[in-house]
Amino acid sequence: MAELMGGNKTSYDANLAAFGYCAADDLSSITIYPKDFESKDQIVKIIEDYNKAAEDAKEDDKSITYTDIVGALMKSVTKIINTISYVLIAFVAISLVVSSIMIGVITYISVLERRKEIGILRAMGASKANVAQVFNAETIITGFLAGLLGVGISLILLIPGNYLIHKIGETEAVSAALPVLPGIALVFLSVLLTLIGGIIPSKTASKQDPVTALRSE
């Protein structure tokens, strides 16, 4: 119809060429459009198996040269995502180290402010280990509550996050989620980091002299 309306000369061959037809002798390339990624992988495997068979038969001239455009794009996207992930991991690692240091500082300040309490505990018969256990228990509880708070906030933020993903992407096939096991691991990591940060202050508290601690104000 476009040819007729444009006034150009139409022919059977021109129409076939417009549809992408060509003679077998003139064939130079074929464009394949798989319906999904699984079909693409199957097609790539078939071509690779054919090329391997041609190489084993020493018929390299019959091998197929192909370009996996989607695969190349996915590799580029994956590389960018991995780079961003490494940068985020570095920032998170720095944040964890700084947080552990701050926990240690806060616990040490708590030890200095509670020297009289430590003296009373020692005077009542508490051992050095018992005093250290008091501060270790406090850091464990702090880390546990902090982990629960972080996981809870993340779960709450997933609701508007998934809404935006579905709204912008116009599909519900992709959703962000926090699995149970990683969530438990994050809480455990929070407890572990706070415990490590409070080890030195708790040791300092256990070494306090009871008499000197009781005299402190």
Query: Residues 49-68: pLDDT tens digits?
Result: 888 888 888 877 777 777 77
Could you tell me if 116 and 210 lie in one domain?
A: yes
Choose the final residue of a domain: 12, 29, 62.
62
In a domain, 192, yes or no: yes
Which amino acid is located at 149 in the chain? L
In a domain, 84, yes or no: no
In a domain, 87, yes or no: no
Least Cα distance to 32 among 18, 46, 16 occurs for: 46
- How far is residue 192's CA from residue 141's CA, in Å, rounded to a whole number? 11
Task: Provide CB contacts within 8 A for 175, sequence distance 6+.
Answer: 162, 165, 166
**Strongest mean pLDDT among 165-169, 196-200, 210-214:** 196-200
In 57-127, which residue ranges form alpha helices assigned H by DSSP? 69-113, 115-123
Could you tell me if 130 and 211 lie in one domain?
A: yes
* pTM summary value: 0.60
Q: Which domain holds residue 200?
A: 104-215
- How far is residue 215's CA from residue 211's CA, in Å, rounded to a whole number? 6
Dihedral (C-alpha) 201, 204, 209, 215: value to the nearest 10 degrees?
-30
CA distances to 70, 77, 126, 190 from 87, in Å: 26, 15, 47, 21
For 98-139, what is each residue's pLDDT tens digit?
888 888 888 888 888 888 888 888 888 888 888 888 888 888
In a domain, 164, yes or no: yes
What's 135's DSSP letter?
H
For 134-168, what is each residue's pLDDT tens digit?
888 888 898 899 889 989 998 999 888 888 888 88
Q: Domain count of the chain?
A: 2
Could you tell me if 56 and 115 lie in one domain?
A: no
In a domain, 83, yes or no: no
So what's the pLDDT on residue 156? 92
Could you tell me if 121 and 55 lie in one domain?
A: no
pLDDT at 6 over 80: no
DSSP per-residue codes, 19-32: TT---GGG------
In a domain, 94, yes or no: no
pLDDT at 213 over 70: no
Could you tell me if 129 and 206 lie in one domain?
A: yes
Structure tokens at 187: 């809480």
Could you tell me if 178 and 120 lie in one domain?
A: yes
In a domain, 73, yes or no: no
Could you tell me if 36 and 117 lie in one domain?
A: no
In a domain, 191, yes or no: yes
Burial of 165 (0-12, 13-18, 19+ CB in 10 A): middle
Establish how many alpha carbons lie within 13 A of residue 67's alpha carbon, considering only the half-sphere containing its beta carbon. Answer: 5
